[in-house]
Amino acid sequence: MVTMNAVVYEKNGQTYVWAFREGDEQRALEAICQSANNSELDLDWVDANIIWQRMGEAPEQIEVREMASFLSPNTRR
């Protein structure tokens, strides 16, 4: 049996959902960072930081930009 987790985030009337397998938080973080880096979405790095903290795997303060190394260099802002 596969256990799935999901993170739901709402901002300005939009709902964003990331689903990931239990223990695969790193891949979820990668998707969250890519979303924050996407200029077409209404998400930014502050949102990504809040989302990651809500996942329960982060310390009270975490700098998501540092974790954005999951993004390829040509997609960074």
Angle at which helix 45-54 crosses helix 25-37, to 10 degrees, equals 160
Gap between the Cα atoms of 66 and 15, Å rounded: 25
Most confident of 4-8, 24-28, 65-69, 70-74: 24-28
- What average pLDDT does the segment 12-18 reach? 87
pLDDT (0 to 100) of residue 22:
77
Gap between the Cα atoms of 8 and 66, Å rounded: 22
Domain map (residue ranges) of the chain? 4-75
Gap between the Cα atoms of 6 and 9, Å rounded: 10
**23-68 pLDDT per residue, tens:** 888 888 888 888 888 888 888 989 988 888 887 754 444 455 655 5
